[in-house]
Amino acid sequence: MRNLAPYAALDGQSRGRRHPESPPAYRSEYQRDRDRIVHSTAFRRLVYKTQVFVNHEGDLYRTRLTHSLEVAQIARTIARALQLNEELSEAICLAHDVGHTPFGHAGQEALHECMRDLGGFEHNLQSLRIVDELEEQYAEFAGLNLSFECREGILKHCSVANARLLGDVGVRFLKRQQPGLEAQLANFADEIAYNNHDIDDGIRAGLITIEQLTTVPLFARFHAEVREHYPDLGGRRLVYEIVRRMINLLVSDLIVASKARIDVAGVASIDQVRRHPAPLIGFSDATCAMNQQLKVFLRQQVYKHYKVQRMTAKARRVLAALFDAFFEDPGLLPEEHQAVADRGEALAGKAGRARAVADYIAGMTDRYAILEHRRLFDPAERT
């Protein structure tokens, strides 16, 4: 392996797995994590889950799977440049969205609303729940038995109340500590990926135009630069030339600004990183401000666009209807999930039943949720 910095996540210093296992013969511990994620059922389902645009609306938009791949490759570049553990960063990024419901954030909000008095629903916690409990791959344990460092990275945020229930990975939220640098950079890789691919998808969907985007300083700067070098360039290639430069600037700035912070902090181990009073990975102030302007633009012009809002409203209705139907009458659930709901109810009453229903719904792909909705509500559809 390449030389890693002393503050990187080093295999030999891992806090280990919940169920002890012998070390892998040919791979590093974090490669093993990554491979388990890639082989998981939840990961495969990401291909049919919405990022912003509903999966069936077009084949060219990002799905959760292509989003996760873009995040992982951006993270690997950053990790490598900072001599951090590239394999761990990649594993965290590939797993970071496995807990997402169908229909993107609309689905998550709908399910949280249904679960409001029954323990709530949070995709971040759900990602951890999937790798810790729900995946069925091993004889010896439930879940994927990932390393502490990978689980720490997957749990990006959580409430104090939930942190108390989570054991080892919850502790940092109670002590207000940081995760390792590989986890910190994964959040930025996520943001860099989605801000930039949503520009591309937004233009492709006809929600925004290049002219509108020139009101965003980060875009305007590279728009001018590309036009100067290639005055006749237009269409898709113009967009990609600009977006490529934007990603490059954000990634480069993140590397340089983070390295400076790490040097000033003088951290010499991952535990010192965790105890450091503030995160060490981050943009410079100027780039952070430009990135913020881009986010505001996307929120107003893309995520709040009426076409996206219509999709969001439909998604909310579909998931709420599915939840109500299954929660009111668990006899409508497929047998396997009925058994889980019965066990949940025996253990934790209505909240236990609700959790089984939420797990079932959260695991659905967009198209499966639409099909289940039809099977339940359309008399002409086969059940």
Which residue's Cβ has the minimum distance to Mg ion? 190
| Per-residue DSSP letter, 230 | -
Site string for Mg ion, 44-83 (x = CB under 5 A): ----------------------------------------
Considering only the stretches 124-132, 175-183, 186-194, 254-262, report the one whose residues sit in contact with Mg ion under the rule CB under 5 A.
Answer: 186-194
> Of the two residues 151 and 337, which places its CB atom closer to Mg ion in the complex?
151
Minimum CB separation of residue 193 from Mg ion in Å reads: 7
Token pair in block for residue 214? 């020139």
> Of the two residues 95 and 267, which places its CB atom closer to Mg ion in the complex?
95
Residues near 182 by beta carbon (within 8 Å), at least 6 away in sequence: 8, 9, 75, 79, 84, 85, 88, 89, 92, 149, 153
> Of the two residues 145 and 196, which places its CB atom closer to Mg ion in the complex?
196
> Of the two residues 86 and 97, which places its CB atom closer to Mg ion in the complex?
97
Minimum CB separation of residue 337 from Mg ion in Å reads: 27
Considering only the stretches 27-35, 93-101, 282-290, 316-324, report the one whose residues sit in contact with Mg ion under the rule CB under 5 A.
Answer: 93-101
Considering only the stretches 97-105, 167-175, 236-244, 298-306, report the one whose residues sit in contact with Mg ion under the rule CB under 5 A.
Answer: 97-105
Helix locations, the chain, DSSP H: 29-38, 41-45, 64-81, 86-95, 104-114, 123-129, 148-154, 160-165, 171-175, 181-204, 210-213, 217-229, 235-265, 270-275, 285-298, 306-328, 335-362, 366-377
Chosen residue from 190, 198, 366, 372 binding Mg ion by CB under 5 A: 190
- Alpha carbon distance 369, 175 (integer Å): 39
Residue at token pair 């891992």: 14
> Of the two residues 154 and 364, which places its CB atom closer to Mg ion in the complex?
154
Q: How many residues bind to Mg ion according to rule CB under 5 A?
A: 2
> Of the two residues 108 and 147, which places its CB atom closer to Mg ion in the complex?
108
For residues 289 and 115, the answer to whether their CB atoms sit within 8 Å is: no
Q: Which of 163, 39, 22, 135 is nearest to 91 (CA)?
A: 39
> Of the two residues 97 and 253, which places its CB atom closer to Mg ion in the complex?
97
Per CB under 5 A, 97 contacts Mg ion: yes
Considering only the stretches 31-39, 96-104, 203-211, 282-290, report the one whose residues sit in contact with Mg ion under the rule CB under 5 A.
Answer: 96-104
Per CB under 5 A, 122 contacts Mg ion: no
Q: Which of 35, 34, 67, 71 is nearest to 48 (CA)?
A: 67
What does the DSSP assignment read for 323-347?
A: HHHHHH-GGGS-HHHHHHHHHHHHH
Torsion of Cα atoms, 351 then 355 then 361 then 365, to 10° = 160
Considering only the stretches 36-44, 182-190, 277-285, 309-317, report the one whose residues sit in contact with Mg ion under the rule CB under 5 A.
Answer: 182-190
How big is the CA angle at 55 (ends 337 and 243), to the nearest 5 degrees?
135
Minimum CB separation of residue 177 from Mg ion in Å reads: 23
Minimum CB separation of residue 74 from Mg ion in Å reads: 11
Minimum CB separation of residue 153 from Mg ion in Å reads: 13
Minimum CB separation of residue 197 from Mg ion in Å reads: 10
- Of residues 254 through 293, those in contact with Mg ion by CB under 5 A are none
> Of the two residues 119 and 202, which places its CB atom closer to Mg ion in the complex?
202
Considering only the stretches 30-38, 189-197, 205-213, 246-254, report the one whose residues sit in contact with Mg ion under the rule CB under 5 A.
Answer: 189-197
For residues 67 and 51, the answer to whether their CB atoms sit within 8 Å is: yes
Minimum CB separation of residue 230 from Mg ion in Å reads: 32
| Per-residue DSSP letter, 167 | G
User: Which of 308-341 are b and which e, b meaning 16 or more Cβ less than 10 Å from the residue's Cβ?
Assistant: beebbeebbebbebbbebbbeebebbeeebbebb
Considering only the stretches 92-100, 216-224, 234-242, 251-259, report the one whose residues sit in contact with Mg ion under the rule CB under 5 A.
Answer: 92-100
Which residues contact Mg ion by CB under 5 A?
97, 190
